[in-house]
Amino acid sequence: MKHIIFQQTLLIYIMSMIVTASMANPLLSKYKTPYETIPFNSIETNHYFPAFEEAMKIHRAEVDKIIQNKQKPTFENTIVALEQAGTLLNQVSSPFYNLLSAETNDELQQIAEKISPLMSEHSNAIRLNEQLFARVKAVYEMRGQLKLNTEEARLLQKTYDGFADNGANLSETDKAVYRELSKELSMLTLQFGQNVLKETNNWSLLITDIGLLKGLPEDVLDMLALNAKNAGKEGWILNLKATTYIPFMKYAENRDLRRELYLAYNTRCMNGGEFDNREIIKKIVNTRIKIANLLGHKSYADQVLVHRMAENKENVYKLLDELLKAYYPYAVKEVEEVQTYANNKGAYFKIQPWDWSYYSDKLKDEKYAVNDELLKPYFELENVKKGVFGLATKLYGIQFIKNDKIQKYHPEVDVYEVKDKNGKFLSVLYADFHPRDGKRPGAWMSEFKSQWKEKGKDSRPHIIIVMNFTRPTGTKPALLAYEELTTFLHEFGHALHGMLTECTYESLSGTNVYQDFVELPSQILENWASKKEFLDEFAVHYETGEKIPVELINKIKASENFNAAYFCLRQLSFGYLDMAWHTLESPFEGDVTTMEKFAMEKTQLLPYVSNTAMSPAFSHIFSGGYAAGYYSYKWAEVLDADAFSVFTEKGIFDQPTATSFFENILKRGGTEHPMVLYKRFRGQEPTIEALLKRSGVETR
């Protein structure tokens, strides 16, 4: 009886805290919006910090309730209860961290610096709690007698691992060390990412002589002029954002300016100023080694790869080495071909990295008579949206209905209701397409809310995709490069994984899968980009309405493998670099650029440029969650080539194949081991043969 009274008192206390706090802070309220979407119009920056504090307090009370439960630990009262705790904290943290990447400012970054150590300590207080772990461990040790279904067993294993992998089995002394190390690591990775954004935004170059910009297409010139206009200047402003950097390196005839831009881009965060990341890299790497050692692993890679399809560093290197051996001879020939072409065009010098895009693009244009300037008019953004969304409709029957009543964090964002073929609500999708100073570079998918089932209710997800696509100019709408089309498909593939999930537990739903499996749904969708049946659905000239000519599609397909080996080695170089940093078994005190040069040496095809490095701005592995995991892009490429071979055989819109991919991959999340899911779809384990065939390696 006393136990029941205590539980009721604690529950009343928790509810009173929620009610009191939510009266003044919308982040702590139950959202009375369409589909309980985030009420961005009501949220002010100063709401976040107190909301974090309150949500952490409530989360601690929820956890205390589990610990103080006098009943014997069971799957329901411990594992499920723990899974369901922290909902309010997720509600607060999801908009904050998404905005920190997509629409940040100095104030948000200052809050992040205050919140990061608090969140780290909060997580540690739960993961390192002996009483809580004792209950989890008790359930785990009797797992053989519990008669759990597959998803329940997976949740139990993931919950136990979540404690064991984060120090729960350590001594009290080592737990104290772990707390400090993890707190330090969270601050270091946060600072690394902020430095990259600031350094990227801080560089610009005003050009007042248009003659220096010879070779640039009209729409690129318009964009650079708009940059200048927005800065209150006359002329054209170059910056290091991808929408400027990539086309400039590809089209600008002025070699000196290409070199200047290349050096600026590839020396980011290594110039000795306040945003220099070289010492931070050492601290991140060494802190990760200390954490790995504390948990009984020789290196950080050994720690991470336990929960990956690759399983260990030997298998990662096996994959990288196999691909290097297969592609290297072809890559050497590709570089020689570009060098010869440049020489024949009067460039009597050895091709440098700032020359590569320029001359390789010219060679591609000459060989295949296809380039972005020919293609862009057929890839107007509004039409591309229809095409990409339409692909999901053809494959999975889902519909996208734009809803301007759903609040958004920036006026440029599009918001859609996503429904199945019967009109049943599946998800909310936020799409953010263009670069801004407050948005980090690159493209990504994330979520404002996950999916889970509770008490018969399927709580559906709210998904966000963020890109940095070419903006409209004063004279033209947003016209995408072919690479931007494939990027859209890639991130939309992640979105489908997040939107179509049908799982019971939030931590297993959607993209909560092994990192070297998560790229399969995204990369497989890129395969549709060059298919005529797909392009015929939407690719029309933005001025004339003419459908993209079949001759142009054939040229796209013919050019698909142009320099494929070179680009493969480039990706492999990033994977080798990542593994070099994270297979270290002793503290690193050397020179960052020397380390990088050694790690990437075997993949180096162009001359090494001294005093440049990518590590100081390699956000993927030092602030983006891909540490000891960058290889997963190539791993997933093997999977996607193998998986798409089924569509190639059956038809790219084949319904049984699409249904099988949905049933066995997209909706299952992390409820089973990914190889089990993959084999259920494919009927066998993947090999690299399909990837080699797609790249043309075995036929060249």
Q: Which whole number is the average pLDDT over 434-441?
A: 91
**Residue 5: is its pLDDT beyond 70?**
no
Tell me: pLDDT of 639 over 90.
Answer: yes
Quick check: 642 and 687 in contact, CB under 8 A?
yes
Identify the pLDDT of residue 441. 86
Position of tokens 């705790």? Answer: 85
- Residues 6+ positions from 325 with CB-CB distance below 8 Å: none
Nearest to 92 by CA among 35, 17, 31, 149: 31
Given a contact cutoff of 8 angstroms between Cβ atoms, the answer to whether 28 and 18 are in contact is yes
pLDDT digits (tens, 9 = 90+) for 188-227: 999 999 999 999 999 999 999 999 999 999 989 999 999 9
Q: Is the pLDDT of residue 19 over 90?
A: no
Q: Summarize the confidence of residues 438-444 as an average pLDDT.
A: 92
Q: Give the pLDDT band (50/70/90) at residue 670.
A: very high
pLDDT band at 9 (very low <50, low <70, confident <90, very high): low
Residue 536 vs residues 51, 257, 545: alpha-carbon distances, Å: 49, 39, 12
| Distant-in-sequence, close-in-space partners of 461: CB < 8 Å, separation ≥ 6 | 427, 428, 447, 449, 450, 451, 498, 499, 501, 509, 510
pLDDT at 12: 54
Please determine, looking at this structure, whether the domain spanning 2-127+129-169 carries the CATH number 1.10.3720.10: no
Q: According to the model, what pLDDT value does residue 700 have? A: 46
Q: For the segment 82-122, what is each residue's pLDDT rounded down to a tens digit?
A: 999 999 999 999 999 999 999 999 999 999 999 999 999 99
How many Å apart are CA 632 and CA 626, to the nearest integer? 9
pLDDT of residue 16: 53
Q: Where are the alpha helices (DSSP H) in 297-312?
A: 300-304
Structure token digits, residue 395? 């494959």
Average of per-residue pLDDT values in the chain: 94
Element (H, E) at 429: strand 425-432
Spatial distance between the Cα atoms of 370 and 361, rounded to a whole number of angstroms: 9
Q: Which residues are catalytic?
A: 491
Average pLDDT estimate for 381-402:
98
**Pairing between strand 425-432 and 462-466?**
parallel
Q: Transcribe 462-511 into DSSP letters.
A: EEEEE--PPPP-SSS--B--HHHHHHHHHHHHHHHHHHS---SSGGGSTT
End-to-end CA distance of the chain: 79
pLDDT level of residue 695 (50, 70, 90 thresholds): confident
Into which CATH architecture does domain 376-547 fall? Orthogonal Bundle (1.10)
Q: Which two tokens stand for residue 187?
A: 């601050």
Residue labelled with tokens 């369901």: 84
540 DSSP assignment? B
Spell out the alpha helix ranges (H) of 266-412: 278-294, 300-304, 313-344, 353-368, 372-375, 381-396
Neighbour-count burial for 585-618, b at 16+ CB within 10 Å, e otherwise: eeebeeebbebbbebbeebebbeeeeebbbbbbb
Does the pLDDT at position 8 exceed 70?
Answer: no
Measured between alpha carbons, how far is residue 428 from residues 34, 36, 283, 437, 667 in Å?
A: 10, 10, 39, 26, 16
Rounded percentage of the chain residues whose pLDDT exceeds 90? 91
Note the pLDDT tens digit of each residue in 644-665: 999 999 999 999 999 999 999 9
Q: Which of 648, 418, 660 is nearest to 533 (CA)?
A: 648
Segment 30-55 shows an average pLDDT of 97
- What does the buried/exposed string (b/e) look like for 486-508 if buried means 16 or more CB atoms within 10 Å of the residue's CB? bbbbbbbbbbbbbbbbbbbbbbb
Q: Return the percent helix, strand and coil in the chain, to nearest 5.
A: 60, 5, 30
Rounded CA separation 484/248 (Å):
15
pLDDT 10s digits, 315-347: 999 999 999 999 999 999 999 999 999 999 999
Three-state secondary structure call for residue 414: strand
Tell me the backbone φ, ψ of residue 453, rounded to 5 degrees.
Answer: -120, 135
* Nearest by Cα to 492 from 413, 391, 603, 412: 391
Distance CA 9, CA 66 (A): 14
Q: What confidence score (pLDDT) does residue 261 get?
A: 98
- C-alpha to C-alpha distance for 436 and 251, rounded to whole angstroms: 23
pLDDT at 474: 83
pTM of the model: 0.89
Helices (runs of H) and strands (runs of E) counted in the chain: 29, 9
Bridge partners for 417 per DSSP = 401, 428
* pLDDT over threshold 80, residue 14: no
Q: 102: part of which helix (H) or strand (E)?
A: helix 87-102
CA dist 407 and 269 (Å) reads 36
Confidence band for 473, pLDDT divided at 50, 70 and 90: confident
Tell me, what's the pLDDT at 485?
Answer: 97
Q: How much is the pLDDT for 1?
A: 43
53 pLDDT tier (thresholds 50, 70, 90) = very high
Please determine, for residue 388, whether its predicted confidence score (pLDDT) is greater than 50: yes
**Integer-rounded Cα radius of gyration of the chain:** 26
Split at pLDDT 50, 70, 90, the class of 11 is low
pLDDT digits (tens, 9 = 90+) for 236-251: 999 999 989 999 999 9
Quick one: tokens of 577?
A: 């670099």
The Cα 278–Cα 333 span in angstroms is 35
CA-based nearest residue to 395, from 651, 636, 679, 642 = 651
φ and ψ at residue 448, rounded to 5 degrees:
-90, -25
Has residue 681 got a pLDDT over 50?
yes
Give me the count of residues in the chain: 700
Q: From CA 632, how far away is CA 640, in angstroms rounded?
A: 12
pLDDT tens digits, 140-151: 999 999 999 999
Q: What is the pLDDT of residues 610-622, one digit of tens each?
A: 999 999 999 999 9
Nearest residue to 440 (alpha-carbon basis) of 624, 283, 227, 204: 624
What is the pLDDT averaged over residues 344-352?
A: 95
Closest CA to 636 of 309, 361, 333: 309
pLDDT single digits (tens) 265-313: 999 999 999 999 999 999 999 999 999 999 999 999 999 999 999 999 9
> Where along the chain do the CATH 1.10.1370.40 domains lie?
2-127+129-169, 376-547
Segment 515-553, tens digit of pLDDT: 899 999 999 999 999 999 999 999 999 999 999 999 999
- Checking if the pLDDT of 18 tops 70, the result is no
- pLDDT, mean of residues 378-385: 98
